[in-house]
Structure 1
Amino acid sequence: MKHYWDRFSERFGEALLAAWYNDAAWLGMLRPLEALYRRQVARRLADFQTGKRPVHHPGVPVVVVGNLTLGGTGKSPLVAWLARYLAERGYRPGILSRGYGGESADYPLRVSAQTPVEVCGDEPLMLSAQAGVPVVVDPKRARGAERLLDEGCDILISDDGLQHLALGRDLELVVVDGQRGFGNGRCLPAGPLREPLSRLESVDALVVNGADSSDVTGAEAATHRFSMTLAPVAWRRLSDDERLPLSPLPFDRQVHGLAGIGNPPRFFATLEGLGLGVTPHPKPDHHRFTPQDLQFGDEAPVVMTAKDAVKCRGFADARCWALDVEARPSAGFIEWFATQLDALTRVAQGERQ
């Protein structure tokens, strides 16, 4: 029975996403519920702004990377890039995550290569491998932040933390998928937005993944707008984690493409751009893979995202590969972020003196 319920939930979620991004007419029936949702969001924000609900700041700079929409936007690759950028400049960054899709008996949870994905969630495990910095999972992010301080971190990156207002922050970065944008521009359940587009007026920067910000309706609400791309960097065989260059191809050109992310077609298009013939197998974001998900009745290679690979590593065979990608922010973003970082550092040093 659970199997059939999971399949129904996945297909319903796919249908709802399609409706949001195509502005289906029937969504108009949900606007009264949207009004209630927006009212609750505004009340919650006011509670934190007025002190009715407490905000905890850990005492070191906090950079929040999040999104306004449900579904993937490319924020996790940007989080990994930020962590590496900071480490290269002598900082000791740590990544804080809610750990969606995982469930631990104890929090805060320090993620390692041996942490089961069922315990920590797929994105924290992927970030731990890609960024090479401490990653802590905790539904109570303020508590998780204290654990990162114990690890010696002097700047924190909160992954998908925009709506977790109990954690104080110094910079807010919002990432949006340049192809899908903000859908129909409406809040849940009539649209994909977690918060109204007016929220962009208060964030520090909007980063558009895969397009120019001028191509995204609603992006003009943000004061600072930048772009980034996701660049493929290597093939990785899951059976032994060996990384190989993009060319020459280490497998046959006709492959099964597997993607349990927010926008699977983007991944399949990337594979095709690398010269592959792709039989697509889209799955919902954070899909829990089983060995049966990798069986297609032939011996063709199976190529998946890095986020999906961490969930398949225990049963993947030599047919299975991941495409590793890296965020490539624009030069304008890098220059802007460096300026913000200098300002945060001066403030932090002044508070310690």
Structure 2
Amino acid sequence: MTALEKAWYRGSLWLWLLAPLALIFYLLSALRRLCYRLGLKTTHKVGAPVIVVGNITVGGSGKTPLVIRLCQWLKQQGYHPGVVSRGYGGKAPTYPYTVIADSDPGVVGDEPVLMRQHLGCPLVVDPDRVRGAAHLVNTHHCNVILCDDGLQHYRLHRDVEILVMDGERRLGNGKLLPMGPLREGPWRIDEVDFVVVNGGIANPGEHLMSLEIGQLVNLKYPSKTQPLSALKKPAMALAGIGNPERFFNLLKHRQVKLKETRVYADHYAFKAGDIPDDLVLMTEKDAVKCRRFAGSQWWYLPVSAKLTEQFKQQLLEKLHGL
């Protein structure tokens, strides 16, 4: 976490020096929204219901495990879902670009590869989410689209908006970028259909999501697994995610002895030589970028989202009403 990010969640007074920049950010954001409301900019429908899963803060909030779980659940309900993602950090040769389980994270981004490895449904990356969503409908015949991290991508018409919030950090100091972590003001919460809180305590009207851990998986030999409790010696933990402390605290809560923790930038492109030939624990998002040069003592910890029955029932009723 950078010094600026730490300040957002500690309420540092020096952030007021950034107030003029936050005002400019607000004015530009408000002008953009006004253009859509007045019809100067157009939203586009794609021929299938669209569920947008996003947040109003920068940094990790738990969108990826939620999208995975929603896709799995929608398939169980008889839908044929598809996922469109921006593909942050990737540089695909053409768009829309279809992601497969062994796609190169450098081409499509790390989160799309992670999602595709858990999903039996089409997934495309495209900075133009309208084009990507239309491709899923027209080419793959998907009858519901999940848009990963597109809450501010107003060109794409959405039928359901799901805002994901980190239950521990929530909205930080409640200020707009760069004075705070917000992409849009707190008022945006009242506009969405569902607020899903990842961990912590859900307020009235919010829906709690918990993350359940699986067994450690060896990067070099994926068929080799073990529970966290099987670790007998101190390990090094690393994380290149939006909120690395969440991962480290999870390990400590499970009584894992850590001799060192290393924080990398979110979406960091790991290289051979970055990680020692030692007992190393990492997130699954980081693991997809390290498999090509994995050491035999490197392990990742998968997590899966658990949703409340009330949330699933209300979402299903919303979809049936479209």
TM-score band w.r.t. shorter chain: over 0.9
Q: 273, 282, 298: which one pairs with 2:253?
A: 273
**Distance in 2 between residues matched to 1:144 and 1:80, nearest whole Å:** 18
Q: Which runs of 5+ in 2 are unaligned?
A: none
Which residue of structure 2 lines up, in the alignment, with residue 134 of structure 1?
122
Which residue of structure 2 lines up, in the alignment, with residue 283 of structure 1?
264
Which residue of structure 1 lines up, in the alignment, with residue 158 of structure 2?
169
How far residue 253 of structure 1 moved from its aligned partner, in angstroms, is 3.9
Q: Secondary structure at the match of 1:175?
A: strand
Kindly provide the CA deviation profile for residues 267-309 of structure 1, in whole angstroms up to 9, marking residues without a partner as x.
01112233311221121211111122211xxx54111111101
How far residue 335 of structure 1 moved from its aligned partner, in angstroms, is 2.3
**Distance in 1 between residues matched to 2:38 and 2:119, nearest whole Å:** 36
Which residue of structure 2 lines up, in the alignment, with residue 93 of structure 1?
81
How far residue 44 of structure 1 moved from its aligned partner, in angstroms, is 0.7
Q: Secondary structure at the match of 1:192?
A: coil
The question of whether the paired residues in 2 share the 8 Å contact of 1:253 and 1:275 is answered with no
The aligned runs of 1:26-45 (5 Å cut-off) are 26-45=14-33
The question of whether the paired residues in 1 share the 8 Å contact of 2:239 and 2:262 is answered with yes
Are 2:286 and 1:308 aligned?
A: yes
Q: 45, 57, 60: which one pairs with 1:72?
A: 60
Which residue of structure 1 lines up, in the alignment, with residue 313 of structure 2?
335
Q: Secondary structure at the match of 1:142?
A: helix
**Distance in 2 between residues matched to 1:320 and 1:163, nearest whole Å:** 37
The question of whether the paired residues in 2 share the 8 Å contact of 1:232 and 1:326 is answered with yes
How far residue 104 of structure 1 moved from its aligned partner, in angstroms, is 1.3
How far residue 21 of structure 1 moved from its aligned partner, in angstroms, is 1.1
The question of whether the paired residues in 1 share the 8 Å contact of 2:228 and 2:254 is answered with no
Q: Which amino acid aligns with 2:221?
A: D
Q: Which runs of 5+ in 1 are unaligned?
A: 1-12, 215-219, 345-353
> Larger % of helix: which?
1
Q: Which amino acid aligns with 2:249?
A: A
The aligned runs of 1:1-353 (5 Å cut-off) are 14-149=2-137, 150-214=139-203, 224-242=205-223, 244-246=225-227, 249=230, 251-278=231-258, 279-295=260-276, 300-344=278-322
Change (3 A) 1:187 1:89: same
The question of whether the paired residues in 1 share the 8 Å contact of 2:278 and 2:298 is answered with no
Kindly provide the CA deviation profile for residues 71-99 of structure 1, in whole angstroms up to 9, marking residues without a partner as x.
00011100000000001111110111000
How far residue 35 of structure 1 moved from its aligned partner, in angstroms, is 1.2
Change (3 A) 1:243 1:39: farther
How far residue 247 of structure 1 moved from its aligned partner, in angstroms, is 6.0
The question of whether the paired residues in 1 share the 8 Å contact of 2:89 and 2:110 is answered with yes
Could you list the structure 1 runs, at least 4 aligned residues long, displaced by more than 3 angstroms after superposition.
Answer: none
**Distance in 2 between residues matched to 1:177 and 1:193, nearest whole Å:** 13
TM-score (norm 2): 0.95
Kindly provide the CA deviation profile for residues 89-130 of structure 1, in whole angstroms up to 9, marking residues without a partner as x.
111101110001111121100001232111100011101012
Q: Which amino acid aligns with 2:183?
A: R
Q: Which amino acid aligns with 2:24?
A: L
**Distance in 1 between residues matched to 2:208 and 2:70, nearest whole Å:** 15
- Aligned-CA RMSD value: 1.5
**Distance in 1 between residues matched to 2:288 and 2:62, nearest whole Å:** 17
The question of whether the paired residues in 2 share the 8 Å contact of 1:252 and 1:301 is answered with no
Q: Secondary structure at the match of 2:45?
A: coil
Q: Secondary structure at the match of 2:293?
A: coil
Q: Which amino acid aligns with 1:338?
A: L
The question of whether the paired residues in 1 share the 8 Å contact of 2:248 and 2:261 is answered with yes
Which residue of structure 2 lines up, in the alignment, with residue 8 of structure 1?
none
Q: Secondary structure at the match of 1:131?
A: coil
Q: Secondary structure at the match of 1:229?
A: strand
The question of whether the paired residues in 1 share the 8 Å contact of 2:102 and 2:113 is answered with no
The question of whether the paired residues in 1 share the 8 Å contact of 2:110 and 2:285 is answered with yes
The question of whether the paired residues in 1 share the 8 Å contact of 2:281 and 2:300 is answered with yes
Change (3 A) 1:35 1:277: same
The percentage of aligned residue pairs carrying the same residue is: 41
The question of whether the paired residues in 2 share the 8 Å contact of 1:94 and 1:155 is answered with yes
Kindly provide the CA deviation profile for residues 214-271 of structure 1, in whole angstroms up to 9, marking residues without a partner as x.
3xxxxx7xxx41111111022111112226352652x434111111111111101112
**Distance in 2 between residues matched to 1:17 and 1:29, nearest whole Å:** 15
**Distance in 2 between residues matched to 1:273 and 1:133, nearest whole Å:** 34
